[in-house]
Homo-oligomer: A and B are copies of this chain.
């Protein structure tokens, strides 16, 4: 790769990281419309395996809005270890780590989650958007869900 191509990837990686950061920021502020605006129209989101993957923003958006309103009283999603690889100039895959803290509407203990987001991104006329998101967990404490997609530990 030329230096020019590598610098273009660095710019794209920074933009993609900011999409991940916007997801966390708006999720934590309970702004479901702003979260939904980060996805492509035909995006796939898999928070499973307890419920099936959701496809299409008309399905994803209300599900996120319900969770933010009904389940959580406060959340904080700390992402790090962001690695981005490019399929071509307009498609990228990414894995990042998520350390998430949650307080519930219900009278139950706060929870912690040590996890990963596996993303696919598409460049659109409106910038990079999330085309696919799968949540995979290494472990959790007091989390409201007992089964999670694994990170693939041997």
Contact with B along A62-104 (1 / 0, CB 8 A): 0000000000001111111111000000000001010101010
Contact present for A10 and B14 (CB under 8 Å): yes
In the complex, A10 Cα to B21 Cα: how many Å? 16
Count residues of chain A with CB under 8 A from any CB of chain B: 42
Contact present for A3 and B11 (CB under 8 Å): yes
Contact present for B139 and A114 (CB under 8 Å): no
Tell me, rounded to whole Å, the shortest Cβ–Cβ distance linking A15 to chain B.
Answer: 9
A153's partner among B7, B13, B29, B154 (CB-CB below 8 A) is: B29
In the complex, A6 Cα to B12 Cα: how many Å? 11
Closest 6 CB pairs of A and B: A76-B114, A76-B138, A30-B154, A101-B114, A80-B80, A21-B81
Residues of chain A touching chain B, judged by Cβ–Cβ distance below 8 Å, are: 3, 6-8, 10-11, 13-14, 18, 21-22, 24-25, 28-31, 74-83, 95, 97, 99, 101, 103, 110, 114-115, 138-139, 141, 151-154
Q: A24-B81, A99-B99 are in contact. List 13 more A-B contacts (CB 8 A).
A: A7-B11, A10-B11, A10-B14, A21-B83, A22-B83, A25-B83, A75-B138, A76-B115, A76-B138, A78-B99, A78-B114, A79-B80, A103-B139
